[in-house]
């Protein structure tokens, strides 16, 4: 069974169409070596739903994954920080790409 990789990157404060393209690109990159990408952009919650609904759905997806890969400045995103803390607390391995130097990216 392929390793499931959760994609974590800032969404709020960005153009939604740009974020959709970004997550789709990351999904393809994760598929290339044979992993299964899991994207919060495909959490089953309508885009215009309250953020709390997205957080709940995203964490359910994350908890079923083998790893979390972080992209961008996660310290500027409440969602990414929540995902990081959840992965840390549940001992889910974390990897960092495109990271600015942040305390969490160590």
Are residues 104 and 74 in contact, defined by beta-carbon separation less than 8 angstroms? yes
Distance in angstroms (rounded) separating the CA atoms of residues 101 and 33: 27
Please give the pLDDT value at position 100. Answer: 56
Instruction: Please indicate whether residue 102 or residue 63 has the higher confidence score (pLDDT).
Output: 63
**pLDDT tens track for 10-49:** 998 889 999 999 999 999 999 999 999 999 999 999 989 9
Q: What is the DSSP letter of 3?
A: P
Q: How confident is the model at residue 104 (pLDDT cuts 50, 70, 90)?
A: low
Averaged pLDDT for residues 100-106: 49
- CATH number, span 4-105: 3.40.50.450
Are residues 9 and 23 in contact, defined by beta-carbon separation less than 8 angstroms? yes
**pLDDT tens track for 40-92:** 999 999 989 999 999 999 999 999 999 999 999 888 899 999 999 999 999 99
């Amino acid at each position: 069974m392929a390793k499931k990789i959760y994609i974590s990157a800032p969404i709020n404060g960005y153009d939604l169409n740009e974020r959709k393209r970004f997550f789709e690109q990351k999904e393809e990159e994760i598929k290339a070596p044979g992993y299964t990408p899991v994207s919060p952009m495909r959490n089953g919650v309508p885009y215009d739903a309250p953020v709390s609904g997205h957080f709940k759905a995203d964490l359910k997806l994350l908890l079923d994954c083998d790893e979390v890969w972080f992209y961008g400045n996660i310290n500027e995103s409440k969602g990414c920080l929540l995902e990081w803390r959840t992965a840390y607390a549940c001992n889910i391995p974390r990897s960092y790409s495109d990271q600015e130097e942040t305390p969490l990216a160590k």
